[in-house]
Amino acid sequence: MKPIAMITGATSGIGEACARRFLQAGYRVIATGRNVAKLNALKDEFGADLYPLVFDVRDRQVAETSVASLPAAWSEIDVLVNNAGLALGLDPEYQGDYSDWDTMIDTNIKGILTMIRTVVPGMVARNRGHVINIGSVAGDAAYANGNVYCATKAAVKSITDGLRIDVAHTELRVTLLKPGLVETNFSNVRFHGDDERANNVYKGITPLTGDDIADAAIYAAQAPKHVQIAEMLILATHQANGSTIVRKN
């Protein structure tokens, strides 16, 4: 039987790339997200090896109910990729939008915790499994106007490190991937649909793609069982950290 990977936020960007990469590597994939049409399109494309599950990680009750509803053939999850996350706004902290803050905290922190609490007990009971959390270089150090988003990604690192400690007595593995500049719809979401402002983020540099991060995720998942890729920082060639980017004309 093929192993099963559950990927949150699988309808675009890094999440969709991870879904495709794990399917290519011989996994069955539970693809979760809020976009019903996109999940159905993925199901039409990949058929029996993809199981669409529609829910928002911010809604704990629905997330738990959705996972509990999985048929027996899909219930033993081998890899959980906690990808669902976002940035909203790029304002000074003292001018930040409360709604943006709530959405980032509820998605980036509480959403990951909900999925861990929902899926990992089964992994522990079976004494096998792998949790891959998508963090960010932004979690290493705050950058100008990144404040709350950076804080949420710093929390993802602590959550990941804490889980790794808590399951160290088992065969489970826990990985944190920390991408830098990745060209997806991330910036478009951050700027609330302002395409021009979003495109400027990637000017003068060749950014990473969702496929680059998906390659890192599958590398960690397919490492020998005695090898735990605890953390991986993935940057574009001309990006040194969260705030140092050398742009070419």
Token pair of 77 as six digits: 């999850």
Is 149 considered catalytic here? yes
The answer to whether the beta carbons of residues 38 and 112 sit under 8 Å apart is no
DSSP assignment letter at 235:
-
Give the torsion through C-alpha atoms of 224, 213, 2, 130, to 10 deg. Answer: 60
C-alpha triplet 235, 198, 58: angle, nearest 5°: 80
Strands 4-7 and 50-54: unpaired
What is the number of other CB atoms lying within 10 angstroms of the CB of residue 2? Answer: 12
The answer to whether the beta carbons of residues 31 and 11 sit under 8 Å apart is yes
State which H helix or E strand residue 147 sits in.
Answer: helix 147-166
* Alpha-carbon span 4 to 78, nearest angstrom: 5
* Alpha-carbon span 249 to 36, nearest angstrom: 40
Choosing from 27, 94, 143, 149, the catalytic residue is 149
SS3 (DSSP) at 70: coil
Catalytic residues: 149
